[in-house]
Structure 1
Amino acid sequence: MKNLFFCILCLTLLIACGDDNKSSGNVDYNPNIPVEVTTFMPDSGRIREKVIIKGSNFGSNKSNVQVFFKDELTERKATVVGVDNNTIYCLAPRQNAGDNYIKVVVNEKDITTSKTFHYTIAENVSTVAGSPAIKGKIDGSLTDARFDYLQGVGALDNESMLVFHRDDPSVRYVSVPDNTVITVQNGFQAGKPAVNKSKTRVYATGQTQPHTIYMYTKDSGWSPSRIGQLGTIVAGEVRALALDDTEQWLYFCDANGKFGRFNIGNQELQILNEKVRDGSSSVSYLIYSPVEDCFYWSAQAAYGIYKISKDGQTVTAFAGFNGNAVLDGYLDECKFAQPNGMTVDEDGNIYVVEGHGGHVIRKISIIDGYVSTIAGIVNKGGNLDGNPKESIFNYPYDIANDGQGNFWIVEGWGMCVRKYAVE
């Protein structure tokens, strides 16, 4: 009944508005009087919930009106569907679970409600492609496809991705809407790729010398093209590439701690720090955080995660380094068993997959620095979908956020592509 009521109102509004986003009354916003919000409905819901805001002096021009949902941590913009002088129709944005205030902005004036909208989320773990019992390299439908040991994933748009085999090295394209898995490159062993913001280009480097770099583009059907190499100056294994906000440089940190970058345009190689840490770690993954404008580097053998400045000169032990175990807590007290691949969400929170001894997904809150286990059962390997806290993973190796509430996970021992969805 609620959705029917909303649809009738929206239809009436759209018929009245015409092409100029005006209501039938064409009432203009009056800058000399305040904007008022009297109520909104419903008072709870999920992402894309249809919300009606009542008040006055909104005007009739939709382009002048913005709506934000606010909690203690974030403020996210809603999609405004329509507006007349007394009513705003909008869709709730993706938000953290809990209570949200609604802020309405009309031109330069804004007002925030005292009443809250209770936002709820639904979480689920599912197996997308592959079989936990049968390994191989078989293309075809998501059901029929088979994988070997997987160690890298790059999220594209429209629920698709590139995944990278460690064993029987290859690169595969996986598309959920097309129900297909296609091998786009054979004989190339790489870990986590770098994906540009528009998700139209992907970069990956060979794990071992000479660390050949390939580019995969949407226009080419994700077929590879060689663009350069890091060369023999980078001696240790490289398991990941990362793009910064300029998208001009590919950053890397090898297993020995050599941190540098490669210029995509002119192939210039710069070593920014010869050794960001003592010792070595054969498995180490690098990601860039646009929120913090820095890099994070997981060191599996050290059971922790480093934070590295963009120039490579400031390196701090960010989280863990308290021994081999899974223990939730704040940055200086938490423990990791085997931190592997990582990704960040829109707010800058970090997600880490744990391999042997863990088999779980961890989340590092960028606001308070608390590390929590959000999916999987500690040290129980296998394949079980459903509620994240009851789900089971089998050596999750890498994770990628597609920005649409989906986290794509590739497994080593499990040989599957899994999805952790937050809606």
Structure 2
Amino acid sequence: MGNLKKTYLFYGMALLLCAGWLFSCSDEGTSTSYDPSLPVTIENFSPDSGRIRTQFIIEGSNFGNDASKVKVWFNEKEALVLNVVNNAIYTIVPKQPGDSCTISVVVENDSVAFDKKKFVYHITESVSTVVGKALEAGSTDGSLTDATFQSPRWIAIDWEDNIIYSDEYTRAVRLISLNSNEVITLFTPSVILQNFAFTEDRREFYATVDNGSVIYRFAADNLWVPEEVGTMGINGYFHGMAMGKDPRYLYARQNVGVVWQVDLENGWGDATRFSPEAYNEDGGQGNIAYSPVEDCFYVVSGNRKHSIFRLSADGTTYEKYAGGGGIDGSSSGYRDGPADQALFNFPQGIAINSEGDIFIAEKNNHTIRKIDHRTKIVSTVAGQAGVSGYEDGDPLEALFNTPIGLAFDKEDFLYIADQGNHCIRKLSIE
């Protein structure tokens, strides 16, 4: 608590100092309007390095005095501009702009980039426990400190950053409100619900029971009360569900590897085959997620092929993307590196961040892996391969026990259903 108070005091004093400096500039007559006949210049910035939310000052000329007309960029990430006078801009460092950042300023239609030095960004990473009592199983509702969890499996985040999850053993669907400090049970079906498919605005979601006999709709406007809206109409088991670009359709991954399309306007037994080819998985568990960045689906083949497949948005192309030790491989194991040579051991949960990178929860390796969609390189971002346990802190020293469900909130913080530890964890990279 003492350190926290010191931190607040430091930032408070820094804000006052910066505000005083800016106002002193104004008093000296430098806070004049932008002059389009003169160039915008950057003379210096400080500090030279820092983390997210570091206070940042740019010195120069002809910035004007209207913050609404000024933009500051760290590489391609826009920063929040707090105040502007004609020879100074006060801003804060945005989240993850890159390791080495070119600072650019735009004033109305004029722009300038500073080429004399770059800002060095330091990443802050941590794993923390959000809710649940590690190693203590239960199913008690209540406050975040009192609530207990049995076997959290699938997880999703709504537009208010409420966490919704399904429990594998109790079958309960529960809502965790971080803002209201409470955990409540929404619904307990007779058959476990599988992965959730949220709409783009995150105000409603769909889920099917394991055997596909019922598809439920949960809507915030209806207080998350479940409503039966359809059925798969297909014999088999369905372990994953996603929504694509068109909100009229749901996409469900069957245990044999086929992806089916459900028309929500006529969803009673009207699922049609979407993927062009079934992979011989025969009972394999898996998942599916849609990438709006790439406009495609990523399909997890968990305990049979230990791989990730890429399915085109029109359903015509279904190909191996990562894992299995090669394009035709189905080997399990642990290996980072190029996606086509990487190894996974029972991947299950999948989530895609706002940059389009793919994150995988590995049930048997007890790790969280990342696939960079630009470089197609697989890396470990949290956990220790093959080591189960419970430990918060540095991501690569943290321990998980059978992580399964993954979901990003709107700030790109990753929430993890840590099934064996009976809790919800959070990976912060900023």
With the length of structure 2 as denominator, give the TM-score of the two structures: 0.88
In structure 2, C-alpha distance between the alignment counterparts of 1:224 and 1:15, rounded to whole Å: 59
1:354 is aligned to 362
C-alpha distance in 2, partners of 1:81/1:14?
13
> Is the Cα–Cα contact under 8 Å of residues 14 and 82 in structure 1 kept in the other structure?
no
**Matched residue, 2:39:** 34
Counting only pairs closer than 5 Å after superposition, residues 289-328 of structure 1 correspond to structure 2 as 289-300=291-302, 301-322=304-325, 323-328=331-336
Measured after TM superposition, the shift of residue 163 of structure 1 is: 0.7
Partners of 2:360 and 2:413 lie apart in 1 by 14
Q: Deviations over 1:247-283 (max 9, x none)?
A: 3322222112222323444547443235343333531
Q: Deviations over 1:23-53 (max 9, x none)?
A: 9877333333322111111222222222111
Structure 1 CA distance for aligned equivalents of residues 388 and 209 of structure 2 = 29
Give the counterpart letter for 1:186 in structure 2: T
The answer to whether residue 13 in structure 2 is matched with residue 4 in structure 1 is yes
Supply the distance in 2 between the matched residues of 1:319 and 1:393 (Cα, whole angstroms). 23
**In the alignment, what sits opposite 1:257?**
257
Distance 1:169 1:76, change over 3 A: same
Shift in Å at residue 67 of structure 1? 1.3
The 3-state SS of whatever aligns with 2:82 is strand
Aligned partners of 2:145 and 2:391: how far apart in 1? Answer: 16
Distance in 2 (CA, whole Å) between partners of 1:110 and 1:28 is: 16
> Structure 1's 229 and 48: CA in aligned 2 closer, same or farther, altered over 3 A?
same
Q: Secondary structure at the match of 2:240?
A: coil
Alignment partners' CA distance in 2, 1:101 and 1:2? 25
**2 CA distance for matches of 1:7 and 1:250?**
52
CA distance in 1, matches of 2:114, 2:423: 46
* Structure 2, gaps ≥5 residues long: 1-9, 326-330
Structure 2 residue 194 is matched with structure 1 residue 191: yes
Alignment correspondent of 1:229? 230
Quick one: distance in 1 between partners of 2:29 and 2:249? 52
Partner of 1:61: 66
Letter of the 1:7 counterpart: L
Equivalent residue number for residue 145 of structure 1: 147
Q: Which residue of 1 aligns with 2:411?
A: 404
Counterpart contact for 2:276–2:318, Cα < 8 Å: no
Q: Is the 8 A contact 1:239 1:284 kept in 2?
A: yes
In structure 2, the CA distance between the partners of 1:13 and 1:221, relative to structure 1 (3 Å rule), is farther
Structure 1 length-normalised TM: 0.89
- Secondary structure in structure 1 of the residue aligned to 2:19: helix
Write the distance in 2 (CA, Å) between the matches of 1:389 and 1:26: 48
**Secondary structure of the structure 1 residue equivalent to 2:68:** helix
Aligned residue pairs, count: 410
Distance 1:33 1:201, change over 3 A: same
Asked if 1:201 is matched to 2:217, the reply is: no
Runs of 4+ in 1 over 4 A off after TM superposition: 11-17, 23-26
* 1:399 shift after superposition: 0.8
Q: How does 1:72-83 map to 2 (within 5 A)?
A: 75-83=76-84
CA contact under 8 A between 2:232 and 2:262: conserved in structure 1?
no
Aligned match for 1:333, one of 307, 331, 341: 341
CA drift of 1:317 comes to 0.4
Distance change (3 Å), C-alpha of 1:68 and 1:332 = same
Task: State the 1:306 CA deviation.
Answer: 0.1
Partner of 1:239: 239
Equivalent-residue separation in structure 1 for 2:25 and 2:114 (angstroms): 28
CA distance in 2 between partners of 1:355 and 1:121 (Å): 27
Check conservation: 2:125, 2:429, Cα contact below 8 A. yes
Listed one character per residue, the Cα deviations across residues 92-131 of structure 1 (whole Å, up to 9, x for unaligned) are 1111562211121222322222221111122111222223
SS of residue matched to 2:180: coil
- Tell me how large the CA RMSD over aligned residues is: 2.5
Structure 1 residue 43 corresponds to structure 2 residue 44: no
Q: Distance in 1 between matches of 2:237 and 2:276?
A: 14
Question: Is the contact made by 1:139 and 1:145 (CA closer than 8 Å) also made in structure 2?
Answer: yes
Aligned to 1:368: 375
